[in-house]
Amino acid sequence: MVTTARGRTTTPTPAAQAFDARRARRVAEQVPDPELPMLTLADLGVLRDVRMTEDGTVVASLTPTYSGCPAMAEMRADVAARLRAAGFERVEIRTVLSPPWTTDWITDSGRRKLTEHGIAPPGAAPRGPVALVLSPTRRTVPCPRCGSADTEETSRFAATSCKALWRCRACREPFEYVKEI
């Protein structure tokens, strides 16, 4: 006997339970990121898993983007609040540290939304140890506004841990860039 998402006390059929699990997943997937609110947590790749245990508890697993990301507690609270508001009474949020988050997990739709909002999406993240390179490296980050490849980095660090500051020499606009990690 469990209390279902619909608030009745009943013995759920496997089909009903699978339905609830899918619904819980959809709810959690739609929670926006606190710092990049045009992206959902699913777009960002920080929502690693949503499942339902036999007693009807929704277990959502999140992974932090950066160790010091101050939005992590906010994300946890938002996912729990959304699930409760959707009728799931028992909610558990787990933190997953391994494997560490990489910008490669940002979905294609997430990348599109970033560009639409004037933020350049990341390129492919480096794999394995990165050697120190001191010679100037030529890399192209196309301007998310005008598409020009004539851009330059102004600062590798920006308003949030995950972004760098760039500017476009063609349209003269500064823009943010989600740096690969």
- Examine residue 134 and tell whether it contacts other proteins (CB under 8 A): yes
Applying CB under 8 A, what is the total number of residues that bind other proteins? 48
Among 10, 53, 95, 109, binds other proteins (CB under 8 A): 95
- Examine residue 37 and tell whether it contacts other proteins (CB under 8 A): yes
Angle of CA points 99, 159, 138, to nearest 5°: 75
- Examine residue 1 and tell whether it contacts other proteins (CB under 8 A): no
DSSP annotation of 60 reads: E
Q: Which residue has the tokens 């100037």?
A: 136
24, 142, 143 from 80: Cα distances, Å: 11, 37, 37
Among 27, 42, 101, 166, binds other proteins (CB under 8 A): 101
- Examine residue 149 and tell whether it contacts other proteins (CB under 8 A): no
Among 16, 21, 76, 87, binds other proteins (CB under 8 A): 76
DSSP string, 37-97: TTSBHHHHT-EEEEEE-TTS-EEEEE--SSTT-TTHHHHHHHHHHHHHHTT---EEEEE--
Closer residue to other proteins, CB minimum distance, 12 or 50: 50
Residues within the interface to other proteins (CB under 8 A): 32, 34-35, 37, 61, 64, 66-74, 76-78, 80-82, 92-102, 126, 129-130, 132-134, 154-159, 161, 165, 179, 181
